[in-house]
Structure 1
C-alpha cells in the first residue's frame, strides 16, 4: 500500500509535469517567433566566439522563469542564462531556453526548449520541445516517455556497429582528448553522428533513433530533461551530480542498455569527471 508521503510526492510531480507542458507551449511559441526574425537578433559571445547567446535565449528563459515564479515560487531554479536560485521544497527546475543556439541562429531546425524538474532522486520530469519539427518528448517518473503523446522506447534492435551513436564535444575538453575519443570509436567500427543540440540527440536516444549519446562535458541544463526521458524509456544514464555543484559540467552518457558499458569503455568517459 502506498504511503501518504509517496502519494503526495506523486501528486506534486504530476502538478509540475502538467505545468511544465504549458510552460513549454509558451516557451516554444516565443522561441519560434524569434526564430522567424533571427536575422534581427542581438548576439553576444560567452566563453569563446563559438559559444553564443542571443536575445532569444534570454527572452525565452525569462518567460519560463516568470511562469515558475508565478506557480511554484518556493522551488529552486537553475537556468543556462541566469543561473541558480535556491528553493525550499526539494524540487529544482532545470531549464535550457534554446539548446542549439548556433543551429537556431543559422536557420536550422535542430534546436529545442528543455524543461526538467529534479528532486533528491534525480530527474523526475523531462520536457524537450522541438518547435520547427513539431515534436515534443515528455516524461514523468514512473509514467514512461512519449513523443507527441505516443509511447517510445530506446532501441533494442541495434548495436554500436549497426545503429548510430550521437557524439558531442566542446572547448571544456582538450582537442587531443576529443580526437582520441573519436579515434577509438572509429577503430571499433562505431557509426556516429554529431548534431547541433546535445539535448536533442539525447531525446533521440529515448525515442530509439540513436543507440546512445556521449559527451565529455555537459551542463545540467543540457541533459537533465533528456536524462528523465531516457530513464523512463528503458535506457541507462551516467549519474550527473547536479546537487553537488549545480552549474558545473560533467561527463554525460545516455544509451540503450546493450551498448552502455561498451560506450563507457571505448570513450574512457570517467577521465573527464
Structure 2
C-alpha cells in the first residue's frame, strides 16, 4: 500500500457507502419495489441493486477513474493502477425484498493478492464495519467501537452461521453438517452481516459455498483486520470466491477444516 494514500481510499469507501445507502434506502420496504430474477430458480435483483451499483460507479468515475471495477450488476471495468474496487450493492437481496434489515453493501479495494481494505455497510441499521491497514472498527448507533474477534478455541463452545440451510451441493451440505453437529449453536440467514458479527466478536464461524468475489472480498478485509481467518475449505486464499470458511481463531479453523475434509 506504500504507493497509495490509504486515507484517500478510506474517503472513497465512505463516499461509495454513502451513495449506496441513499439508493438502497430509497426503495427498501416499498410496495412497488421492482424485482426480477436472474435465473429460473429465483435469484432476485431489484432496481435498488442496480441503482446502488450505478451510484457507486459514478463516485469512482469522479474520484478514482483509473482503477478497475468488479461489481455484481454491471460489466467489469479495466483499470491501470493495479487496484480494483469490488462492489456488491446489496448482499442479501432475498432479505432486502423480504423487509428484513440484515442485508448490506459490500465494498473492497483489492490488488492482485486480494483485498487490502474493505467495508460492510448496513444502511438500515446504520452500522459501517471497516477493515484494513491499521483499522478495524465499526461506526454506528452505539458510536465508534474497535472490532476484535473473540477467542473461542473449542468447537463445542462456538456459534456457527451460514446463510442458507442447504449450503450448496449435497456433499457441501454434508460437510457443513459435520461442523454444525459439533458446535454449541447454529443459526441461519444474515448474509454479509454474519461476517460483520464475527469481526465484532459476537459469533465464531461462518461457513458458506458458491460465493463470488464480490460476496467475500469485503468480509475478508474486515475479518482479517479484526484478527480472524478467512480461507476456502482447503485452507487456501478465497478472494476469488467459492467455498468460504471464516473463523475467529486458528484452532476453530483447523478443527472445522478437518471435519469437512472427511465429507468431501
TM-score by length of 2: 0.88
> Which range is displaced more, 85-94 or 26-35?
26-35
> Match for residue 145 of structure 1?
136
Report whether the alignment pairs 1:24 with 2:41.
no
Deviation at 1:267, TM superposition (A): 2.4
Deviation at 1:114, TM superposition (A): 0.8
Deviation at 1:262, TM superposition (A): 1.2
Paired residue secondary structure (2:69)? strand
1: CA distance between counterparts of 2:262 and 2:98? 31
Deviation at 1:172, TM superposition (A): 8.9
What residue ranges of structure 2 are gaps of 5+ in the alignment? Answer: 232-236
Report whether the alignment pairs 1:227 with 2:220.
yes
TM-score by length of 1: 0.86
Residues 216 and 269 of structure 1 are in contact (CA less than 8 Å); yes or no, is this contact kept in structure 2?
A: no
Evaluate the alpha carbon distance shift between residue 48 and residue 171 of structure 1 in structure 2; reply closer, same or farther with a 3 A threshold. Answer: farther
Q: Of the candidates 151, 155, 163, which is equivalent to residue 156 of structure 1?
A: 151
How many residues are matched? Answer: 254
Evaluate the alpha carbon distance shift between residue 189 and residue 24 of structure 1 in structure 2; reply closer, same or farther with a 3 A threshold. Answer: closer
Paired residue secondary structure (1:139)? strand
Evaluate the alpha carbon distance shift between residue 152 and residue 205 of structure 1 in structure 2; reply closer, same or farther with a 3 A threshold. Answer: same
2: CA distance between counterparts of 1:240 and 1:269? 20
Q: Of the candidates 97, 107, 114, which is equivalent to residue 105 of structure 1?
A: 97
1: CA distance between counterparts of 2:98 and 2:115? 31
1: CA distance between counterparts of 2:114 and 2:56? 21
Report whether the alignment pairs 1:165 with 2:150.
no
1: CA distance between counterparts of 2:105 and 2:238? 20
> Match for residue 187 of structure 1?
181
Paired residue secondary structure (1:146)? strand
- Which structure features the higher share of helix residues? 1
Paired residue secondary structure (2:158)? coil
2: CA distance between counterparts of 1:122 and 1:216? 19
1: CA distance between counterparts of 2:177 and 2:228? 25
Task: Summarize the alignment of residues 1-273 of structure 1 with structure 2, pairs less than 5 Å apart.
Answer: 7-9=2-4, 11=5, 13-37=6-30, 39-141=31-133, 143-148=134-139, 149-157=144-152, 159-169=154-164, 173-174=168-169, 176-197=170-191, 199-238=192-231, 239-242=237-240, 249-257=241-249, 258-268=251-261
Deviation at 1:157, TM superposition (A): 4.2
Paired residue secondary structure (1:83)? coil
Paired residue secondary structure (1:84)? coil
Evaluate the alpha carbon distance shift between residue 264 and residue 87 of structure 1 in structure 2; reply closer, same or farther with a 3 A threshold. Answer: same
2: CA distance between counterparts of 1:270 and 1:83? 36
Paired residue secondary structure (2:28)? helix
Evaluate the alpha carbon distance shift between residue 151 and residue 119 of structure 1 in structure 2; reply closer, same or farther with a 3 A threshold. Answer: same
Evaluate the alpha carbon distance shift between residue 157 and residue 196 of structure 1 in structure 2; reply closer, same or farther with a 3 A threshold. Answer: closer
RMSD: 2.2
2: CA distance between counterparts of 1:191 and 1:55? 36
